[in-house]
Homo-oligomer: A and B are copies of this chain.
Amino acid sequence: MSENFELHAQLAKDSIWLADWPLCQLRLINDSNYPWFILVPRRANIRDVIDLSDEEQAQLWQESAKLSRLLRQKFSPEKLNLAALGNMVPQLHLHHVARFSSDAAWPSPIWGKVAAIPYTEQQLVVLLNEWSVA
C-alpha cells in the first residue's frame, strides 16, 4: 500500500518535510503567520479518515495527539485547531494550528484569510533542526 504513496503536488509546494512518523509525514506549512503543521498518512488513495483501516485510524489519532502535545509545549497556544478539509487537495491531510487571539485570522479559521508569509531561510533552518528530532 504505502509503496504507492505520493504526496500531492500542492501539498509539496505549500509545505516542508519535517519528519516521518510511523504512519504520517509531518510537514510544516510555509506560512509564518501561524505555527501550522500537517500530518499526511503515507497511504495511497486516501481522501477521508474513514478510508484508513481501523488500526491506521488509531495510529493517526495517536500521532495527532503527539503533535498537539508538542504544539502546546512549544507555543502555549490559546487554542489548537484541528481539521481535515481537503476540498481543494483531496489527499487526506490533517491540519494542526496553534492559535492565538493576537494572530492574523483570529477568531476566524485560518484558511483563505490572509496571504501566507513564507519563512526566511534562517527561520527554516532552526525549525527543521527542532522538528526533525521530534
Give the interface of A toward B (CB within 8 A): 47-50, 57-58, 61, 64-65, 68-69, 72, 79-88, 90, 99, 106-109, 111-112
Contact = CB atoms under 8 A, between A and B. Distances in A.
A69 B49 CA distance: 10
Copies in the complex: 2
Contact of A111 (B47, B82, B109): B109
B79 A81 contact: no
A87 B107 contact: yes
Contact of A68 (B49, B82, B87, B88): B49
Contact of A58 (B58, B68, B72, B88): B58
A112 B113 CA distance: 11
20 contacts: A48-B80, A49-B68, A49-B80, A49-B82, A50-B68, A50-B72, A57-B61, A58-B58, A61-B61, A79-B85, A79-B86, A79-B87, A81-B87, A83-B85, A85-B109, A87-B106, A87-B109, A88-B107, A108-B112, A109-B112
A102 to B, nearest CB: 12
Given A50-B69, A65-B50, A83 B80 contact: no
Contacts of A58: 58, 61
